[in-house]
Amino acid sequence: MAAPDDVISYFPRDADFATLSEIVEAARAGLPSDVRDFLDGGAGREVTLRRNRQAFERWAYRPRIMTGIGAPDLATSFLGVPLGLPILTAPFGADGLFHPEGHCAVARANAAEGVASIVPEAGTHAVEAVAAAAPVAARIAQIHPMGRPANFAAMLRRIEDAGYGAVCVTVDCPTVGWREGTRHNRFDPDPAVLTGNYPVGGPVALDEVFGQLFTRTEPDWTWAELSERMAATRLPWMAKGVLTAEAASAAVDAGASAVLVSNHGGRQLDGAPAALEQLPEVAAAIAGRAQIALDSGIRSGTDVVTALALGADAVVIGRLAAYGLAAAGEAGVRRIHQLLRDEMHTVLTLLGAGSVRDLGPDFLQKVQP
């Protein structure tokens, strides 16, 4: 007898992918080796990449039993965006490397599963095209604080005009991280996977916006400069790439409504701490002043629950979403969300938590590494 739609299938005999690991394996098997290494890899000796995963293993759950709770509620909101799951997809660039439809497919999958997209500036498809593909999910657009202020202001206007509800400002990427794997592979993707917003022959060239990543000819922007330039938009914004209490406080003082605790998935500064390790410090610094999201190292529904218990209001998934995209396009990303949802449902039930909003540090205890 078929199970109702709202009941988890613990024995998914007919599913194309029964586990997240199957999706990852399918994605890695189908990608060219250099693209696979680009997706899998991190900066330097990949110390921070490993730390991101190890940090989750240092926490154990303290379940509450016989609580009388019913089915847990996974819904929440972030930056005014309602979410069926406490998950957003990351603004990973070069998305056309993983599937021709890139973030358009991701956004459609997100819309179907109650997840929101953070749409990249250096992506294969323009912010307008992704918004048109799934306006319900394409609610946050990314921008980089570099280049000419006039170009920055023009992109902010495009984001507003396309109907986005918030902006994600990536503050941890003044230059590209030292990535041994991509250098070893002489990785040189087609520029088209990066030029959706700045097409060749367009009014603004990609190099005009991102040239600072490589040339370092201009000084970095300051928080004061970013605050002044973000004052031009009515949209709330999030600072992506925060790892310390000091940076979190500076971001909120500059006008950010949220911060994303992140080390860029271990792809920028090797030797940086795990994002999860820094989450309690950030939460303590800005509690009640701004919302908090976490990325870097999320690989399961259990990881999502741990991050929420340590102070995150939502998590952001990058590699997982890219794996789903590479494995089966829109359907692959949808399956990622379905598996995360089902695992979270199970974990919350076993923890005795009635809602993702009920989670807190009292559900956890530190264990020896």
The conformation of residue 289, written as its DSSP 8-state character, comes to T
pLDDT in tens, 72-91: 999 999 999 999 999 999 99
Average of per-residue pLDDT across 6-15:
54
Distance (Å, whole) CA 161 – CA 36: 35
Distance (Å, whole) CA 221 – CA 346: 45
- For 331, other C-beta atoms within 10 Å of its C-beta total 17
Q: Which of 99, 103, 125, 264 is catalytic?
A: 264
- Residue 367 CB-density burial (10 A; 0-12 exposed, 13-18 middle, 19+ buried): exposed
pLDDT in tens, 116-137: 999 999 999 999 999 999 999 9
CA distances from 42 to 25, 180, 182, 303 (A): 19, 8, 9, 20
* pLDDT at residue 13 is higher than 80: no
Position 312 confidence tier, pLDDT thresholds 50, 70, 90: very high
Q: What pLDDT was estimated at residue 112?
A: 97
pLDDT in tens, 332-356: 999 999 999 999 999 999 999 999 9
pLDDT in tens, 211-223: 777 777 778 899 9
Q: Report whether 339 contacts 332 (CB < 8 A).
A: no
Tell me the β-bridge partners of 61.
364
Residues 180, 181, 187, 191: is their CA dihedral positive or negative? Answer: negative
pLDDT over 90, % of the chain: 84
pLDDT in tens, 226-259: 999 999 999 999 999 999 999 999 999 999 999 9
Q: What pLDDT was estimated at residue 315?
A: 98
Tell me the β-bridge partners of 73.
355
Residues 26, 109, 54, 369: is their CA dihedral positive or negative? Answer: negative
CATH of 20-363 given 1.10.730.10, 3.40.50.300, 3.20.20.70, 1.20.58.190: 3.20.20.70
Helix (H) or strand (E) holding 206: helix 206-210
Distance (Å, whole) CA 103 – CA 113: 15
Q: What pLDDT was estimated at residue 207?
A: 83
Planar angle of CA 248, 254, 259, nearest 5 degrees: 35
Q: What pLDDT was estimated at residue 342?
A: 97
Helix (H) or strand (E) holding 117: strand 116-119
More confident residue, 189 or 304: 304
Tell me if residue 345 is catalytic.
no
Position 326 confidence tier, pLDDT thresholds 50, 70, 90: very high
Structure tokens at 198: 């700045």
Position 11 confidence tier, pLDDT thresholds 50, 70, 90: low
Q: What mean pLDDT, rounded, does the chain reach?
A: 93
Q: How much is the CA Rg of the chain, to the nearest whole Å? A: 20
Q: What pLDDT was estimated at residue 8?
A: 53
Distance (Å, whole) CA 341 – CA 83: 12
Helix-strand-coil percent breakdown of the chain, rounded to 5? 45, 15, 45
The conformation of residue 61, written as its DSSP 8-state character, comes to E
Average of per-residue pLDDT across 289-309:
98
Phi, psi of 317, rounded to the nearest 5 degrees: -110, 130
DSSP 296-333: SS--SHHHHHHHHHTT-SEEEESHHHHHHHHHHHHHHH
Q: What pLDDT was estimated at residue 12?
A: 57
Q: What pLDDT was estimated at residue 94?
A: 96
DSSP 4-60: PTTS--SS-TT-S-SSHHHHHHHHHHHS-HHHHHHHH--STTSHHHHHHHHHHTTEE
Q: What pLDDT was estimated at residue 42?
A: 95
62 contact partners, CB below 8 Å, separation of at least 6? 362, 363, 364, 365
* pLDDT at residue 368 is higher than 80: no
Distance (Å, whole) CA 85 – CA 87: 5
